[in-house]
């Protein structure tokens, strides 16, 4: 996939850094998915960090299992899992190999292939409701656990950096994570201040 105009592809070293830094640095940049010749794209506006140490909410906290296998690979691949019998969630694995740490992508502002996303998300009345939640965005982008383990530098799921945003982060709000019971006091959720596509204030 060629980077869209005005963007550049990050190197692998972008993902193998500290998870919290990756989670913050992703804000304002783009997620692209190419399937069946269709290209879908959106700006990442909300993320959460799941750490490899002292974080009971992280799927990797209890060791390697069949489901979380991808998390233990080196940063730069997708970890996609199924929850609540109904939804998939997209993560980017971060850090070096065997740490089991990742960034959950919680919300996106659609920018390309919007009609295609709307077809999959008929319930979304407003533009900002198309992908303003982790389950919603995987529906909009057509991602399932079949896509788990995809290489973010070579595969059909990509990250592209907005040239104008490199080195200057947007204004970021930091809060506790959403929808978890263990480790709920940790402030590891990040979103772009005042952005309409954020899942919750």
Cα–Cα distance measured from residue 40 to residue 32, given in angstroms and rounded to the nearest whole number = 6
Contacts of 67 (CB under 8 A, 6+ apart): 59, 81
Residue 177 or 186: the one with the smaller Cβ distance to DNA is 177
Positions in 177-196 near DNA (CB under 7 A): 177-182
Q: Is 142 in the site for DNA (CB under 7 A)?
A: no
Answer whether 139's CB lies under 8 Å from 121's CB. Answer: yes
Q: Is 165 in the site for DNA (CB under 7 A)?
A: no
Cα–Cα distance measured from residue 49 to residue 22, given in angstroms and rounded to the nearest whole number = 8
Q: Is 67 in the site for DNA (CB under 7 A)?
A: yes
Among 28, 75, 76, 133, binds DNA (CB under 7 A): 133
Residue 7 or 80: the one with the smaller Cβ distance to DNA is 80
Interface characters, 87-126, with DNA (x: CB under 7 A): x-x-x----------x-x----------------x-xx--
First to last CA, the chain: 34
Contacts of 176 (CB under 8 A, 6+ apart): 184, 185, 186, 187, 188, 189
Per CB under 7 A, residues contacting DNA are 48, 50, 57-60, 62, 65-68, 71, 79, 82-87, 89, 91, 102, 104, 121, 123-124, 133-137, 177-182, 199
């Amino acid at each position: 996939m060629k980077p869209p105009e005005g963007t550049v592809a990050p190197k692998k070293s972008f993902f193998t850094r500290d998870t919290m830094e990756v989670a913050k640095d992703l804000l304002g940049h783009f997620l692209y998915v190419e399937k069946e010749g269709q290209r879908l794209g959106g700006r990442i506006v909300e993320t959460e960090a799941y750490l490899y140490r002292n974080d009971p909410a992280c799927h990797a906290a209890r060791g390697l299992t069949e489901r979380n296998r991808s998390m233990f690979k080196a940063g730069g691949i997708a970890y996609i899992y199924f929850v609540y019998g109904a939804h998939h969630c997209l993560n980017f694995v971060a850090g070096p190999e065997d740490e089991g740490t990742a960034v959950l992508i919680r919300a996106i502002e659609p920018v390309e292939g919007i009609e295609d996303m709307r077809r999959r998300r008929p319930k979304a009345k407003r533009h900002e409701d198309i992908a303003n939640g982790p389950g919603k965005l995987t529906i909009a982008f057509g991602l399932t656990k079949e896509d788990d383990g995809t290489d973010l530098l070579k595969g059909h799921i990509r990250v592209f950096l907005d040239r104008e945003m490199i080195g200057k982060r947007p204004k970021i709000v930091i809060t506790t994570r959403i929808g978890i019971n263990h480790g709920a006091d940790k402030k590891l959720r990040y979103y772009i201040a005042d952005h309409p596509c954020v899942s919750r204030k």
